[in-house]
Amino acid sequence: MNQTREFPEGFTWGVATAAYQIEGAAGEDGRAPSIWDTFSHTPGRVDNDDTGDRACDHYHRWAGDLDVIAGLGIPAYRFSTSWARVMPDGRTVNQAGLDFYKRLVDGCLERGIRPMLTLYHWDLPQALDSGPQGGWLGRDVADRFVDYAVAVGKQLGDRLPVITTLNEPWCSAYLGYASGEHAPGRTDLPSAYRAAHHLNLAHGRALAALRSTLPTTTELSVTLNLHQVEPASDSEADSAAARHVDLIANRAFLDPMLRGAYPAELFETTAHLTDWSFVRDGDEAEIHQPVDFLGVNYYNPARIAAHDGPGFPGSDRAIGVDIPGPHTVMDWPIVPSGLTALLQRVHREYAVPLVVTENGMASRDVVAADGAVHDADRIDYLRDHLAAVRDAIDAGADVRGYYVWTLLDNFEWAWGYDKRFGLVHVDFDTQARTVKDSARWYAGVAARNALT
């Protein structure tokens, strides 16, 4: 029997992208390199040595890409601005860069698409990353971020319903400064905690600055890739390792942002690595700003075992172990129930409205002889995860929207172009776009505001 599961009235349905992954036009109209340009141009950092130089050429094809969203009838679009396009030297506004985002936002509004702008999806201007205390290791970067946020807010704030400060500071801090898998590619665990704090500070200060300059109707938020952590066994060692991952990966961001203080246990369990003296009096109060909702990105849970030394990024005593069952081509386990549990937990412990700002899967998608992309596996993935969101709502979580990662196959960071997450297939030689079956399926769900 077919069962229809409706979503709450006003639920937002969207698709998400990020600047460096789709824009290309790396040297145009005054844009300067970001840390991701430097990183991707360093041999061996990215699979196949792929770079975002051209990506989906969205900088030139944005109007057609918005037409695809509008043609499908998908109501909302989450994208990010490139800091290095808006402020190439990290300090001075490049009007040509901002004008691109004005055209993009106006293009959304003209087509009836609700834009959600993310200020930082990992592409720090390279100019702010010089020297050993450069990048997120310097406290100063938080103020540079405020200047950038205010510059964007001043010129675009009147027409933006939603602004998000950071995307996944966990990745910026721990993949950027501990495991080195992401730009700027450093491998020094104590630095990663310092970077995490400065990211938190940047979020709090920028949010306060935007709150005081933007119309009261503009919603402000931050997006975290929270980890649904579970111990690999019921041993005390694995439970302690899982608690540690929860501290460094979840509570190091959630607690200062939503409760106004880092957990004491975070300081205690990392005391042999850092004294946290970079957290100054008053910082936690500044980080603690009311958000209109919390963005949550979810792909899979983290099953954690005790481990001696580096393993799970950001921890020196834990490692992620595989979860049996189906996996995507990223080798990420497919566990929809983890999303229900995660949303319920955040709702229970932090009582904040939630939006799933990313969820989706990579697949080996090909354009078939009939000219279509039959990505039935992605439809199953999305259906099961949307059912998981609906389960969380049934259980009381205040979930207000869902954005598929992602609109277009794109530059998937350290994995380059081989991993296709898009609802729309991109031929990277010709830049031809082909709408996949999953896009039409998802558009139908959005139109009905219900899963059938």
SS3 state of residue 279: coil
Our answer to whether residue 358 is catalytic in this structure is yes
The residue type found at 59 is Y
CA distances from residue 47 to 9, 51, 228, 279 in whole angstroms, order as listed: 43, 9, 28, 36
Our answer to whether residue 236 is catalytic in this structure is no
Q: Is the peptide bond before 169 cis (omega within 30 degrees of 0)?
A: no
Would the CA dihedral through 344, 252, 299, 231 be positive or negative?
Answer: negative
Element (H, E) at 304: strand 302-306
User: Considering the rule CB under 6 A, would residue 412 count as an interface residue with ligand FCB?
Assistant: yes
The stretch among 64-72, 164-172, 213-221, 255-263 that binds ligand FCB (CB under 6 A) is 164-172
User: Considering the rule CB under 6 A, would residue 421 count as an interface residue with ligand FCB?
Assistant: yes
Compare residues 171 and 355 and give the one whose CB is closer to ligand FCB: 171
The residue annotated as part of the active site, out of 23, 230, 286, 358, is: 358
Instruction: List the x/- string, 218-237, binding to ligand FCB by CB under 6 A.
Output: -------x------------
The stretch among 165-173, 180-188, 228-236, 276-284 that binds ligand FCB (CB under 6 A) is 165-173
Compare residues 36 and 293 and give the one whose CB is closer to ligand FCB: 36
User: Considering the rule CB under 6 A, would residue 405 count as an interface residue with ligand FCB?
Assistant: yes
Compare residues 171 and 379 and give the one whose CB is closer to ligand FCB: 171
State the Cα–Cα distance between residues 125 and 11, nearest whole angstrom.
35
User: Considering the rule CB under 6 A, would residue 126 count as an interface residue with ligand FCB?
Assistant: no
The residue annotated as part of the active site, out of 23, 168, 284, 286, is: 168
CB-nearest residue to ligand FCB: 18
Q: In this structure, how many other beta carbons lie within 10 angstroms of the beta carbon of residue 395?
A: 13
Q: In this structure, how many other beta carbons lie within 10 angstroms of the beta carbon of residue 429?
A: 6
φ, ψ of residue 362 in degrees (nearest 5): -90, 145
Q: Are the CB atoms for 302 and 245 separated by under 8 Å?
A: yes
User: Considering the rule CB under 6 A, would residue 409 count as an interface residue with ligand FCB?
Assistant: no
- End-to-end Cα, the chain, rounded Å: 10
State the Cα–Cα distance between residues 256 and 241, nearest whole angstrom.
22
User: Considering the rule CB under 6 A, would residue 148 count as an interface residue with ligand FCB?
Assistant: no
Residue 271 CB contacts under 8 Å (≥ 6 apart), including other chains: none
Minimum CB–partner distance for residue 16 and ligand FCB (Å): 8
Minimum CB–partner distance for residue 117 and ligand FCB (Å): 15
Interface residue with ligand FCB, options 123, 230, 316, 358 (CB under 6 A): 358
User: Considering the rule CB under 6 A, would residue 18 count as an interface residue with ligand FCB?
Assistant: yes
Compare residues 270 and 406 and give the one whose CB is closer to ligand FCB: 406
State the Cα–Cα distance between residues 107 and 110, nearest whole angstrom.
5
Q: Which of residues 264-303 bind ligand FCB (CB under 6 A)?
A: 297
Element (H, E) at 303: strand 302-306
Residue numbers at the binding site for ligand FCB (CB under 6 A): 18, 21, 167-168, 171, 225, 297, 358, 405, 412-413, 421
Q: Which residues are catalytic?
A: 168, 358
